[in-house]
Amino acid sequence: MTFKELKQHPQYLLLDCISGSTAYNLNVQGSDIDKKGIFILPRQQLYGFAGTEQVANESNDEVYFEIERFIDLLTKNNPNILELLSTPQQFITYRHPLMDLIRPEDFLSKLCLGTFAGYAQTQVKKARGLNKKINKPLGDDRKTVLDFCYVLHNNGSVTLQQWLHDNRLQQQECGLTALDHFRGTYLLYHQRQMEGSVWLRGILSGMDADDVQLSQVPKGVEHMAVLHFNKDGYSVYCREYKEYKEWEAKRNQQRYQSTLSHGKNYDAKNMMHTFRLLNMAEEIAVHQQVMVHRHDREFLLNIRNGEFEFDDLMKMVEEKMEYIKELYATSILPDKPDMQKAENLLVRIREKFYGDK
């Protein structure tokens, strides 16, 4: 089954819904229209080699789950799946009578603490990462090993670049030897100290090198300086630089410009959904119900509009998380869904659907 085939054979649809911001009551001008739904495989595909767990269009804003995959994710209390099952009536474009057999209250459990609130914490990490990227941009010019080298100087240290500049030297004319028992620390020499045919190799083999290089220095030559290469710091920088460039290439430009426009240096839409998930986790613990339509629209859109400081939101998240943990500790929800009941439900749906055909 492919997305195209499902659209050509709607008789295999069990549920078709408008989802996302529209269903949440959080849509604004320019919001996309997302759709989600459930389908059941034709019997031959179920028994044969053409099994399919889910299908989607090219832009991935229309996603449909096969009934087995759907119920499996329900037993894991997946937020997207529980929201789909609880879609408000006005946003359901088609619902097969067999869907009446699947009730959210049969699946809600204390796993929602880890799925809804846990996913919210993932969003917070993303927001923190974006906050760091905006406030500490790495720029276009990539640093080299030389930027992480330091020279002992006057009971302290200076950067190697500064030391070379002050002494009117070039790194290509220098050489290093290892200093025993001092990790990342080297003795530094200059070519003018060498006699005969001794040639130093330079501190780097090239500007793309990921480490310093050593030279052969005759015994008895006094070093000019002691150099330390912060290799761990350089490794961290290389990883962050790679991540930054990947983020820069893949970022949603419209959302990025929106982030810059409100001046708070965090992804406001990301943070809005963080609090939506936290509030939904709280509602599930208290009311044993998934409330897709957001009555806290004004508060959530205020977050999206950048009306809160990043640090204030982080404090609110921490306080909310502690409160939600206490709610789940005393909630009447079961620890997890009944797997046997879920399996029996899946078998019953398939038997009724295929039997009717």
Q: Tens of pLDDT along 150-166?
A: 999 998 999 999 999 99
Pairing of strands 62-66, 34-39: parallel
Does some domain include residue 122? yes
Q: Is pLDDT at 138 greater than 70 in this prediction?
A: no
State the pTM of this model: 0.66
pLDDT band at 121 (very low <50, low <70, confident <90, very high): confident
Does some domain include residue 244? no
Q: Which of 200, 235, 270 is the last residue before a domain boundary?
A: 235
CATH number for the domain harbouring residue 42: 3.30.460
Report the distance separating Cα 357 and Cα 348, nearest Å. 14
Of 65-69, 76-80, 117-121, the least confident:
117-121
Place of tokens 């229309």: 62
In this prediction, what percent of the chain has a pLDDT beyond 70?
90
117 and 162 housed in the same domain: no
Does some domain include residue 155? yes
More confident residue, 316 or 50: 316
Report the distance separating Cα 202 and Cα 174, nearest Å. 5
Structural domain range at position 175: 145-235
Q: Is pLDDT at 245 greater than 90 in this prediction?
A: no
Please state the rounded mean pLDDT for residues 96-106: 96
**Helix, strand or coil for residue 13?**
strand
Contact 16, 7 (CB under 8 A): no
Tally of structural domains, the chain:
3
55 and 133 housed in the same domain: no
Does some domain include residue 246? no
114 and 263 housed in the same domain: yes
